[in-house]
Every structure is written in structure tokens, then in C-alpha cells.
Amino acid sequence: MEKIMMKGNEALAEGAIRAGCRFFAGYPITPQNEVPEYMSRRMPEVDGVFLQAESEVSAINMVYGAGGAGCRAMTSSSSPGISLKQEGISYIACAQVPCVIVNVARGGPGLGGLTSSQADYFQATKGGGHGDYRLIVFSPGTVQEMVDLIGLAFDKADEYRNPAMILSDAIMGQMMEPVVLPEMRDLQQINKPWATTGMKNRGQNLINSLGLLPEDLVRINQELQEKYKRIEANEVRYAVEDVDDADLVLVAYGTSSRIARSAMGLARKEGKKVGLLRPITLWPFPKQPLADLAAAGKRFLVVEMSVGQMVEDVILAVNDRSKVDFFGVPNGAVPTVRQVYNRIMEIL
Amino acid sequence: MHGPRLNILIGAFGSGKTEVAINYALQLKRRGEKVGLVDLDIVNPFFRSRELKAFLRSKGVQLVSAQDGLEAADLPALSPRIFAFLQNTAYQVVLDVGGDPVGARALGRFEEYFSQEPYNLWLVINPYRPGCSTPEELYELARRLEETSKLQINGVIDNTNLGNETTAEIRTTGARIVDEAARLLTVPVVMRTVAPPQTWSAAAGEAILSLELFMTAPWETSPAGEVSEDE
């Protein structure tokens, strides 16, 4: 397959279609608008449904319904819109309905601005809505990974019957890079015996998020926690570069990882031994690889496009075995390569 | 430089109009012209020429975009100062129009100027973008752009690229598609872009626009410098 130039948001949308997504509901908000726009054009071509909902709350509940009926379903939005969806996401997590939620994050809090942001890390990885639940959260670091990870997100959502999230940001969504697109997924291969597809010759399938009797709610929660343990054991994904000889390991995801990599290159030119660990799943978080690097005597510098959220998970993983420093910027600003480089040189 | 002083760049979303517009404006400036660059992008609030306002001013290129104070908004609010450039015949004007027919709609507002004097309306093409890979698709796009803008395309710009993975083979394949699209539209290929270190051996009479890439990501080096450092 030939490479083409795609914007992150377009690549995400086409990647979803090729992964078998046939239902999209969403509501306009910058900087994710290319996703619904692309879907509105493309879904009719593959006999799928594109629906511009009347609100974010409606969109996520439509995804709940479509996912429950066994369709690969997704919604996308940007930070304030994702906040609005949280009640629905909590219901979907409890009802164990697979779906994919995309956040092309922008600067907050509040209405905020259109600049890129990584300040939705807590919201994505620590629940976001009410109750003890988790999303499988993927963080693309290239436009190619937009395509690859949304395919994986649909697969993992189905495998675990759990909502998955792509946490992107304005820069990742808007930038253009060459991509190779996968072949169209065969929809016949996607089998969901639990889905509400009409009883025909089987018993009733029931999908809800209700546990009025205390013992029912306990059972539901135990089942969820059991599943989250399996996800934590099997689905951690991350990438490392130049960590073997490194004295200092940068920890960054998405846009920040690109900036950190350039800063690492500058520092290496000055003979500084710097490496990079890039979490690809933000939940489950790569705790063990960080603990191992800490045990091997590496120090850490966490780089984020926020005033510090993922750094808390790095500190927990390192657990006082080594030192963790932080460089971040308040929303509205984007860290520069030079700033990160200067911070590296202060430490080493 | 003779010929029309109003140079309008249109094209599909993401075809590279802004990059071409900035580089073409700088080229005109180097030829000693007075140059105004008009950012008419009402479609996309990212990677717009307005982010380079200070740099362009230092190079002597006047940039007009959104209404003052609304540069970072996703509002279709254009500055009334655009009229000053359109009226002042001492200026070469480069108009960077937003992508797709929806972006070309912004041109309708300035129709009276284009009916008073000749203009270049150039279609910027990158065949490595989705929906732009065949001459037929490009022909359809051109007709829709003409319909929305109520203007006539009279040249195409070959902006074939696959970012930093552009090879000689990609460049040649793209040029063939652009040539065929131009033939269908019965207009000339007025310019081909090349981003060094890539090269292109120009045919006789072919204009080459050597690109410096300004629409960079925060981890790439921009020729405009690192503007946000230690502010």
C-alpha cells in the first residue's frame, strides 16, 4: 500500500473505518472537527452511520446503544466535550460495552483555548466519571500511530468489553505526516454473542449498569476489578529509546515525547547520556519498566504539556528508588525543545 | 515581474497552500516588490500564516489576517485592512485561501476587486493527499472551487510531497498526475515546489519555487526561529 499525507484527525477517522467502525456520533468542537467531518463523508460509503448529535451527552449515549447492539462504535470530542460525556462513559464502563472515545485535547480548564494540551491525563486515566472504573487509554506519538492505535483500541475494547480511549491533542490532530493505511477489516470476523441483537433462538441478553441490591453491585464491581487486573497484566505498551547507557531517562507521551526526543538528540550531541521512555498505554501505565530502570540507577525527567499529572504515576512507579524531576508548561504554552534541553543540562 | 498582481492560492484542505503562499510572498519580496500576504483561512485555526506575523514583518512582508485580537480564534472574522491591499496597486498581493470549497467561499466577499483587474487563481495540488490522487478527482475539485469562488482557475502549482519522506520517484509520480490534471483543466503548470535537500530538474520554462518549511511542529526547526522561547 502506498503512503499518503494525512492529518492526525483524518488518519484517526480513516483508521477507525478500516478497523470496522460503522457508527459515529459526535458534536462539533475545535480541534477535533476533522474527525466528524471526515466521518460524515466516509460513513455513507461503507454503509455506516454518521450522526451529528444534539449534544455531547446524546452522542455518548448513542454510542452506548450502538456498542450494546454489537456495532463497532465511536465518538470524538475535545476536552470540554469529553467532560460532558463522563456520565455516559461511566455507564458504558459498568455495562461492559466496548466502544472507542477520542479526545483531541485542548487547553483548559473551563472553555480554555484552542492550543494543545496534556492536562486531561487525570480525567482519562483516573476515571473521569463516577465509580471505580477504568478506560484502556492509548496515546499516539505519530500520525501513523493514530491509525495503528485506533485499530488496536477497537480490538482491545471488544476483547475486554471495555471502553477504550485515544488521548490525542491539538498538535497531533492537526499535524500532517505520511501514513500507510491497513486493509479494511472483515466485519464477519467480529463476533459478539453478548450483544443485544434480537433474541431469535437464544436467551435474553441484557445490558445495563444497575446494581440496586448491594450484593449485585458488589458482584459487578468485583467482576470489573478482575477484568482490570487482566488488562494491567497483559496490555501495558511503551517504547524506549537509548535507555541502556542512559543516566537520565525522559518520560513523555504524545506531542511531549516528540519534543523530548529532539531535546534528547541535542543533549546526546553534548555527550550527555539521555534516554526516552514513551508510554503508549497511559492506562495500564508502564509501572514495571519504570521501576526496573529506577532499580538500575537511572534518574527521570518527566516532560508534560501541563503543570504535572503523569509525573504522579512516575513517582508512584519509581517509589523512592530514584529521583524524579519534572518539566511542564501551563496550558496555552507548548514546551520548546530548548527549554527541555536546558532542564536536562541543569540536571546532568 | 509583470502579469497580474493579485495572486490567489486555492486548493484542497491540506494541499500546502499556506507554505506555498509564504514562500511565494518572500520570493516576490526578494525581487524588490512591495508584498502583502493575506491570510483568508477561515477553515482551520492551526498552522496558519498568522503565526508568523512578526517574522514576516522582519522580512518586509505585510501580513493581514483576522481582526485584531481574534488571531487565535476559530471564527471566520477577517480584517477590514484586507481591502487596503486589494485597492493599493503598488502592492503585489498573495491571497492564502482556506481549504476546500468551504474555504474558497471567503473569496466571494472580494469579488468586486477581481472583476476590476486581472488575477492569478492558482490551484495548489499535492496528489499524495486523500481525494487528490487522480486527475479526475482534481478536475472535480477545481470545478467545485470555481463554483464557490465564482472565479476562474488559470494555473496549477505542483506541490507534490510526502513530507520528509519525499523521494525523486514520488516527485515524478506526482508531477505526472498534476500535468494530467492541468491538461484536463486546459491551464498551465505555473510552478513546481521543491523543498531542499530534495531537487528537481526543471524543464525549459518551468518555474521552481524552492521551499523553506515554516509550518513546522514544535520539535522541528523553523527558519522563523524559536519564537516562544523564554518569553
Predicted-assembly ipTM surpassing the 0.90 threshold = no
Contacts of A339 in chain B (CB under 8 A): 229-230
Give the best residue of B17, B41, B46 to mutate against chain A (max A CB count within 10 A): B46
Contacts of A31 in chain B (CB under 8 A): 45-46
Residue A191 near residue A71, CB atoms below 8 Å:
no
Q: How many residues does chain B have?
A: 231
pLDDT tens-digit profile of A194-253?
Answer: 999 999 889 999 999 999 999 999 999 999 999 999 999 999 999 999 999 999 999 999
pLDDT, mean over chain A: 97
Q: Average pLDDT in the B172-192 region? A: 96
Tell whether the model's pLDDT for residue B199 goes beyond 70: yes
User: Is residue B140 in a domain?
Assistant: yes
Contacts of A258 in chain B (CB under 8 A): 217-219
Contacts of B161 in chain A (CB under 8 A): 5
Residue labelled with grid coordinates 496528489 = B127
Quote the radius of gyration of chain A (alpha carbons, Å).
20
Of B14, B72, B126, the CB nearest to A7: B14
Residue A335 near residue A303, CB atoms below 8 Å:
yes
Residue B41 near residue B103, CB atoms below 8 Å:
yes
Of A114, A178, A339, the CB nearest to B45: A114
- Scanning every residue of chain B, which has its alpha carbon at the shortest distance from the alpha carbon of A333? B228
Question: Is B14 within 8 Å of A177 when comparing Cβ atoms?
Answer: no
Q: How far apart are CA A83 and CA B193, in angstroms?
A: 44
Question: Is A174 within 8 Å of B46 when comparing Cβ atoms?
Answer: yes
Number of C-alpha atoms within 13 angstroms, CB side, residue B120? 25
CATH number at residue B153: 3.40.50.300
Interface contact A3, partner B, CB < 8 A: yes
Of B46, B161, B165, the CB nearest to A170: B46
Question: Is B229 within 8 Å of A338 when comparing Cβ atoms?
Answer: yes
pLDDT tens-digit profile of B207-227?
Answer: 999 999 998 899 998 887 654
Cell of residue A240, nine digits: 524506549
Burial class (CB in 10 A: 0-12, 13-18, 19+), A86: middle
Overall number of domains in chain B: 1
Please report the DSSP string for B75-130 in residue order: S--B-TTHHHHHH-TTEEEEEEEPSHHHHHGGGGGGHHHHHHS-EEEEEEE-TTST
Q: How far apart are CA B83 and CA A307, in angstroms?
A: 43
Question: Is A339 within 8 Å of B130 when comparing Cβ atoms?
Answer: no
Of B216 and A159, the structure prediction assigns the larger pLDDT to A159
User: Is residue B30 in a domain?
Assistant: yes
Question: Is A14 within 8 Å of B73 when comparing Cβ atoms?
Answer: no
Helix (H) or strand (E) holding A163: strand A163-169
Residue A87 near residue A39, CB atoms below 8 Å:
no
How many other C-beta atoms are found inside a 10 Å radius of the C-beta of residue A242? Answer: 16
Contacts of B217 in chain A (CB under 8 A): 171, 175, 258
> 3-state DSSP helix/strand/coil percent for chain A, to nearest 5?
45, 20, 35
Q: How far is CA B87 from the centre of its chain?
A: 21
Residue labelled with grid coordinates 505542483 = B158
User: Is residue B198 in a domain?
Assistant: yes
Q: How far apart are CA A124 and CA A163, in angstroms?
A: 11
What's at A291, amino acid-wise?
A
Q: For residue A217, is it left (φ>0), alpha (ψ between -120 and 50) or beta? A: alpha
Give the gap in angstroms from C-alpha A287 to the nearest C-alpha of chain B.
Answer: 27
Question: Is A258 within 8 Å of B218 when comparing Cβ atoms?
Answer: yes
Residue B22 near residue B51, CB atoms below 8 Å:
no
Q: Which of A189-193, A254-258, A295-299, B72-76 has the lowest mean pLDDT?
A: B72-76
Q: How far apart are CA A297 and CA B116, in angstroms?
A: 73
Give the gap in angstroms from C-alpha B29 to the nearest C-alpha of chain A.
Answer: 28
User: Is residue B76 in a domain?
Assistant: yes
Find the largest Cα–Cα distance for chain B: 52
Cell of residue A236, nine digits: 501495558
Which residues of B touch chain A, with CB atoms under 8 Å apart? 14, 44-47, 72-74, 126, 128-130, 133, 161-163, 165, 217-220, 226, 228-230
Tell whether the model's pLDDT for residue A164 goes beyond 50: yes
Give the gap in angstroms from C-alpha B64 to the nearest C-alpha of chain A.
Answer: 21
Instruction: Report pTM.
Output: 0.94
Q: How far apart are CA B190 and CA B206, in angstroms?
A: 7
User: Is residue B1 in a domain?
Assistant: no
Question: Is A337 within 8 Å of B161 when comparing Cβ atoms?
Answer: no
Structural domain span for residue B201:
6-230
Q: Going from the N-terminus, what domains does chain A have, and what CATH number goes with each?
A: 4-196+207-234 (3.40.50.970), 238-347 (3.40.50.920)
pLDDT tens-digit profile of A49-97?
Answer: 999 999 999 999 999 999 999 999 999 999 999 999 999 999 999 999 9
